[in-house]
Amino acid sequence: MKKDIHPDYRPVVFQDISADYAFLTRSTVQTKDTIKWEDGEEYPLVKVDISSQSHPFYTGKQSIIDTAGRVDRFRRKYGKKN
């Protein structure tokens, strides 16, 4: 490989904020946040909205995440007319 052209491939913690779940893997993603992991080391942290612990396909549960009334606006605009 050529030197100094590839991104830094390092351990990174991904944290699912909706399911309180985190896992350590390797990635090239850039982040400013860090977290102290179970092994006592500090790793870069990436916060994600959905992971396999909170996605309906994997959990079998349907949940609606309402962000600033988006679901209500959608239902008013496209909902069934009486």
Q: Using an 8 Å Cβ cutoff, are 75 and 64 in contact?
A: no
Q: What is the pLDDT of residues 1-57, one digit of tens each?
A: 688 898 889 999 999 988 889 999 999 999 999 999 999 999 999 998 887 777 666
pTM of the shown model: 0.65
Q: Which residues have C-beta within 8 Å of that of residue 77, sequence separation ≥ 6?
A: none
Instruction: State the DSSP code for 80.
Output: P
- Following DSSP, what letter does each residue of 27-73 receive, concatenated? E----S-EEE-TTS-EEEEEEES--TTT-HHHH-------STTHHHH
Cα separation of 60 and 67, whole Å? 22
